[in-house]
Amino acid sequence: MGVVSAVEWKAVESSVFTAAAYRNEAQQLYLRFRDGDIYRYFDCTAEMYEAFLAAESKGRYFARHIRNRFRYEQVRYAHRRTGCPVAGQGRRRRISAGPLPTQPA
């Protein structure tokens, strides 16, 4: 799983998330949802990560400040009780159509 297993995860008290991690050099925020799925959010500042950790409601902070504001990709799919995914699907990546960085001229 590469970077996902190399980052330092911090457990969080939340009805939505179980843990969060941050890669400062890449400005990437990782969030592990209760269902086990892990998403990586691009171009997030360290201050945003700290504010997320300090928020009384992580889900509310996420909804107001992160969701639909940053480009993201799902980097880990949890295995559902409905059956095992088809070979290779467990590592499939989706990238959002959210805001993209501007291209140099």
53: helix, coil or strand? helix
pTM (predicted TM-score): 0.74
* 11-25 residue pLDDT tens: 999 999 999 999 999
- Name the β-bridge partners of 71: none
> Is residue 23 classed as helix, strand or coil in its secondary structure?
strand
SS3 64: helix
Q: Give the pLDDT confidence score for residue 76 in this predicted structure.
A: 87
pLDDT band at 102 (very low <50, low <70, confident <90, very high): very low
Secondary structure letter of residue 76 according to DSSP? E
Please report the pLDDT score of residue 77 as a whole number.
82
CA 45 to chain CA centroid, Å, is: 13
